[in-house]
C-alpha cells in the first residue's frame, strides 16, 4: 500500500487529501470536505487531466487567446501544445468559436476572446 498526498484544486479551500493506493488503484480517500474533492483525487492519481490555455496567431499576426473546452490527459499536453503552435486562424473570431476540432480525444480548441 502506498499513500499519495494532494492539495485539491477544485475550489479555493484547497483541502489536503490523502489517497491510499493498492495495485495502482485508490482504496481510501480522506481529507476532502466535499464530493468534488474526492472525485478530483480519484482522477488525479489514476489519470490526471488539465485544461490547456494558450494563444493562436491569426493570419494578420494578432494573438487570439484559446483553451481546450474539456480537460485533456496531462500526458498529452506537449502534443496538444505542438498542435496549437502550428495552428493559425482567420479573423474575425468570437468567444467560443472552435478553432481545432478534437485536438485531443473529444476536446476542442476554442477561442476565449474576440478578435
Percent of the chain surpassing pLDDT 70 = 100
pLDDT at 23: 93
Exposure string for 23-61, b = 16+ CB within 10 A, e = fewer = eeebeebebbeeeebbebbeebbeeebeebebebebeee
pLDDT tens for each residue of 2-17 = 999 999 999 999 999 9
pLDDT digits (tens, 9 = 90+) for 41-66: 999 999 999 999 999 999 999 999 99
pTM summary value: 0.82
Position 105 pLDDT exceeds 90: no
Amino acid at each position: 500500500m502506498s499513500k499519495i498526498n494532494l492539495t485539491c484544486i477544485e475550489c479555493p479551500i484547497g483541502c489536503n487529501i490523502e489517497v491510499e493506493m493498492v495495485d495502482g488503484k485508490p482504496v481510501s480517500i480522506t481529507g476532502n470536505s466535499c464530493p468534488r474533492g474526492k472525485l478530483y483525487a480519484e482522477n488525479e492519481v489514476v489519470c490526471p487531466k488539465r485544461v490547456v490555455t494558450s494563444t493562436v496567431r491569426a493570419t494578420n499576426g494578432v494573438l487570439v487567446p484559446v483553451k481546450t473546452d474539456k480537460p485533456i490527459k496531462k500526458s498529452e499536453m506537449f502534443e496538444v501544445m505542438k498542435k496549437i503552435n502550428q495552428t493559425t486562424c482567420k479573423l474575425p473570431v468570437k468567444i467560443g468559436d472552435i478553432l481545432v476540432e478534437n485536438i485531443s480525444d473529444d476536446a476542442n480548441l476554442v477561442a476565449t476572446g474576440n478578435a
